[in-house]
Structure 1
Amino acid sequence: MRPADAAKKYRRSPVRIGINGRFLVAKRTGVQRAAFNLIRTLVEIDRENEYLIFTGRGQAGRPEWNYPNVRVIESDLREGESFLNHVWEQFWLPVLARGYRVDLLHSPANVAPLFYRGKSVVHIHDLCFVVNPQWYSFTFRTVYNFIIPRLARRASRVITCSNNSKNDLLHFCNLPADKVSLVYWAVDDTFLQRTSGETKVDIAELGDFILYVGSLEPRKNINTLIASYVQLRRDNPGLKPKLVLIGGESPLFADVRLRVKDYAGDIVFKGFIDDETLRAYYSKAALVAYPSLYEGFGLPPLEAMASGTPVVTSDGSSLPEVVGDAAFMVDPRSTEQLTGAMVRLLTDQGLRKKLIDSGRRQVERFNWYRVARNTLAVYYEVAREGDSSEGGKLKASGSAHHFVPFDAWKRLVALEERHLNAIRAHS
């Protein structure tokens, strides 16, 4: 039986899905951007179930949540990272979820209420703090080593975004394989759009530049990137690209500016920028260098590919899963390999074209409608658990994709096709 026929055949009561929306008031880094895109797409395609988004003030009026089956429950959360927001998440959010009688509570940004006793789904992006504890403060390691394994064991289902992260969860948290669902992240559709002819002045003044996007912290391997850039400039006097670093600085990496004083005019720190400006930087860069030592997924390489920019990245952790054969992969600890790769992409037009073309094909594998469909299937599996009678939330068993509602399934097919057409038009 085709999935569409199966979805039409099986009838069910709507599921009331609670969303832990603390991430909506946090600074939007990779995890927060991915969580936002997931929830935005879910409510766009699913009109059968009810969504209650528990978050901070000022979120209810956002157009992304303007659907009849979506309610935004606002609390007094503070913008950014606040200890009080964590207190709300651990103690008040469970009260709200019980009070509104949600069928399951989904926390899409790594942390969830530890003592919630209802059905729950938690996204755990990676276990970098376990695999590489030297990159984190003692306080961070202590808190997360206590919370995350317990969250994973107590959740009804854990979703993660790569096989690399799934293997870490199974190993370090001692979870059964069927408790962890793999749902890859995707690239935001805005990166598929062509930038306007009106290039921002500060970008135009840069000339050729190599772009890095991500936080400035040890695991991102910024030391090696800067050393490779210095070697590129020293050994290739005819190549004079600037190096542009976009992202927030970690307290553990605060002295990075002091180490580049000899190239102070050529290594540019931009900090956090808005998404529109980020898209312009991606599209104007000569290449994107992303030599991270560990990633749960790694959005910047995909964003670069969607923007038509070639990528140099690491050959470890989850990155080979994400980039496939569409990037120049190197040993991230080798300054020589990274330097050589950047020189090749700056000078070899045939290689550049090959990677740009294969990058656009690679991006087709990752779209938010597919992510939403797979997440919705997890919701139905969790809602079904313990409801074996005819009056339960679901009335049939089978593979997960059979439980996507028929109307949502039809919308997903149409939207996925539109998404792929946008990629092909951009090529």
Structure 2
Amino acid sequence: MVKALTEGRIEVIPNGVEEDRCDVNSNAKANNQVLYLGKISKSKNINLLIKAMNYVTKEMKSAKLILAGPDEGLIHDILNYAERHGINTQYMGEVSEELKHKLYLESTIYALPSLYEPFGITLLEAGIHGTPSTITGNGGQAEAAPPNLASLWAEPKPEKYGEAITTLLTDEELRKKLKTQAKEWAQKHLWNKVLPRYEELYNKLISNE
């Protein structure tokens, strides 16, 4: 027998994120630095990001792309593309927790080019450091960094995604607004706020047995 689920019986509790414990100066943002942190893989749609940076670099010669995370066989081609097109790109490899937080904090924006994410915890990690994001595709990334609140959303096309990155790099007023909102949104997902909701739900379920 299949029982219908009513709205009142569904409880959605988001993923949590750690507080920003980075002891680097919170104002130490690097100029025009774009960060991607995660697997260097086809599933993360990295080719979209590097091609988008081609458009960004044409508008902003000072733009720099930082890539950090384990390589799944793509980084050689990506760095070759960057060199041929004059894109200032640095690959950090896998990074420690300390360096990860430092990169979030120092970067101007965070870019996640995935077409689909179940949630996108790196977007919350960026937000907790006051770093707004550029996203694309459809999935949990829009929940982790809602468009026009914590991020800019663009079509998954190099020119369109590049435009979103350029806009966020050049529009200081918009960037400051999204920076503040991204941090406020991420603060709602701190583990010390999320875990009590699990406890409350468990107690409710036990009391209804």
Question: Under TM normalisation by the shorter chain, which class is it?
Answer: 0.7 to 0.9
Q: How big is the shift at 1:180?
A: 8.1
Match for 2:171: what amino acid? D
Q: Retained in 1: the 8 A contact 2:22–2:102?
A: no
Match for 1:222: what amino acid? I
Structure ranking higher on relative contact order (CA contacts 8 Å, 6+ apart): 2
Query: 1:252/1:370 Cα in 2 relative to 1: closer, same or farther (>3 Å)?
Result: same
What is the aligned partner in structure 2 of residue 356 from structure 1?
A: 179
Q: Verify: 1:300 aligned to 2:130, yes or no.
A: no
Query: 1:180/1:219 Cα in 2 relative to 1: closer, same or farther (>3 Å)?
Result: farther
Q: Verify: 1:373 aligned to 2:196, yes or no.
A: yes
Match for 1:246: what amino acid? A
Match for 1:289: what amino acid? A
Q: How big is the shift at 1:264?
A: 7.6
Secondary structure of 2:92's counterpart equals: strand
What is the aligned partner in structure 2 of residue 113 from structure 1?
A: none
Q: How big is the shift at 1:364?
A: 2.4
Q: TM-score, structure 2 length as denominator?
A: 0.81
Q: How big is the shift at 1:352?
A: 0.9
Q: Verify: 1:335 aligned to 2:158, yes or no.
A: yes
Q: Retained in 1: the 8 A contact 2:55–2:163?
A: no
Larger Rg: 1
Task: Map residues 196-207 of structure 1 onto 2, 5 A cutoff.
Answer: 196=25
Q: How big is the shift at 1:265?
A: 7.5
Q: Retained in 2: the 8 A contact 1:192–1:306?
A: no
Separation in 1, partners of 2:91, 2:145: 26
Q: Retained in 1: the 8 A contact 2:54–2:87?
A: no
Query: 1:354/1:265 Cα in 2 relative to 1: closer, same or farther (>3 Å)?
Result: closer
What is the aligned partner in structure 2 of residue 290 from structure 1?
A: 112
Q: TM-score, structure 1 length as denominator?
A: 0.42
Match for 1:259: what amino acid? Y
Task: Map residues 164-313 of structure 1 onto 2, 5 A cutoff.
Answer: 182-189=12-19, 191=20, 193-196=22-25, 208-234=32-58, 236=59, 238-251=60-73, 255-262=77-84, 266-313=88-135
Q: How big is the shift at 1:371?
A: 2.8
Q: How big is the shift at 1:297?
A: 0.9
Separation in 2, partners of 1:258, 1:207: 24
Q: How big is the shift at 1:279?
A: 1.1
Match for 2:179: what amino acid? I
| Worse overlay, 250-259 or 367-376 | 250-259
Runs of 5+ consecutive residues of structure 1 not aligned to the other structure: 1-173, 385-393, 399-427
Query: 1:194/1:327 Cα in 2 relative to 1: closer, same or farther (>3 Å)?
Result: farther
Secondary structure of 1:182's counterpart equals: coil
Runs of 5+ consecutive residues of structure 2 not aligned to the other structure: none
Q: Retained in 1: the 8 A contact 2:33–2:65?
A: yes
Q: Retained in 2: the 8 A contact 1:195–1:279?
A: no
Q: Percent identity?
A: 24
What is the aligned partner in structure 1 of residue 208 from structure 2?
A: 397
Q: Retained in 2: the 8 A contact 1:213–1:247?
A: yes
